[in-house]
């Protein structure tokens, strides 16, 4: 097991040298790390904050490859409607749902709904259909986790217009959490989960999750899935401790506010 006091001292020295700025919750803005860039033309913003926009490039979240996936844009169609949104979002920030329905629906209201296991479909946001059938709706995310979302025309919310299923998408909303980094000075030592920490080791330290638990981490439009490999962190009131390889895959260079969800 890596010595806790030694790790805390080493990270304190690294923090003093780097002097990273930590974003205050509930806003998920980060001062360090490389930005993945803005979304492509026509894609809805993943968030209202500059520097947090996702990209339409990349693939699914990865485990063990050392490459973080970009915040993908997903599109679904059904019941005479097409909708597009980002698959990852930040709790307390805006997530846009843009799309089209039939021109005959101009002036009506489109509902964005979240599927609740007990209550069924719950409306979380709404917007008017413009002339021609286009709509753009912002949901200020107020629920965290992996969830199923759909869009429906309000006047037909309980009955299908064409007998088809309304456009349905899977998204993940992350809670903010403070994360520290470790690696240099500890390479070659054995973690609390029994593996030797290397420069290329992808993983995260947690005080409570079992060793090997997959954790999906989100930062500035990038996501990656890594296992719990160690215990910690024990400084700065942080919830997670990222290995150097994990931090580099996400573009993190110091103590930052991230999003994380365990499997």
User: What pLDDT, in 10s, does the model give residues 193-207?
Assistant: 999 999 999 999 999
CATH number of the domain located at residue range(s) 4-38+61-66+175-262 in this protein: 2.40.40.10
Euclidean distance between CA atoms 17 and 184, whole angstroms: 14
Average pLDDT over residues 209-219: 96
Least Cα distance to 27 among 47, 55, 53 occurs for: 47
The domain spans of the chain are 4-38+61-66+175-262, 72-174
Domains 4-38+61-66+175-262 and 72-174 share a fold: no
User: Residues 39, 53: contact at Cβ < 8 Å?
Assistant: yes
Q: Which residues contact 119 (CB under 8 A, 6 or more apart)?
A: none
Give the C-alpha separation, 262 to 20, whole Å: 26
CATH class label, 72-174: mainly beta
What band does 66 get if pLDDT is binned at 50, 70 and 90?
A: low
Residue 99's pLDDT is 98
19-51 per-position pLDDT tens digit: 222 222 222 222 222 222 223 333 444 443 322
Mean model confidence pLDDT for the chain: 78
């Amino acid at each position: 097991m890596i010595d806790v006091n030694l790790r805390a001292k080493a990270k304190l020295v690294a923090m003093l040298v780097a002097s990273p700025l930590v974003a205050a919750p509930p806003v998920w803005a980060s001062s360090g790390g490389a930005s993945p860039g803005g979304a492509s033309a026509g894609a809805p913003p993943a968030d209202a904050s500059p520097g947090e926009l996702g990209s339409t490039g990349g693939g699914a979240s990865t485990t063990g490859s050392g490459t973080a996936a970009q915040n993908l844009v997903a599109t679904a169609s059904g019941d005479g409607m097409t909708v597009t949104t980002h698959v990852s979002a930040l709790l307390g920030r805006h997530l846009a749902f843009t799309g089209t329905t039939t021109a005959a629906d101009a002036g009506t209201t489109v509902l964005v709904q979240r599927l609740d296991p007990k209550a069924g479909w719950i409306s979380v946001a709404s917007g008017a259909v413009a002339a021609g059938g286009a709509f753009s709706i912002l949901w200020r995310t107020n629920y965290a986790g992996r969830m199923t979302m759909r869009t429906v025309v309000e006047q037909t919310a309980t009955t299908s217009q064409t007998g088809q299923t309304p456009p349905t998408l899977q998204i993940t909303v992350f809670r903010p959490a403070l994360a520290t980094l470790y690696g240099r000075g500890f390479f070659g030592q054995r973690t609390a989960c029994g593996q030797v920490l290397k420069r290329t080791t992808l993983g995260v330290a947690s005080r409570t999750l079992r060793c090997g638990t997959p954790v999906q981490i989100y930062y500035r439009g990038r996501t990656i899935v890594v296992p719990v490999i160690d215990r910690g962190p024990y400084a700065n009131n942080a919830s997670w401790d990222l290995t150097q390889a994990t931090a580099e895959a996400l573009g993190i260079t110091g103590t930052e506010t991230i999003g994380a969800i365990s499997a």
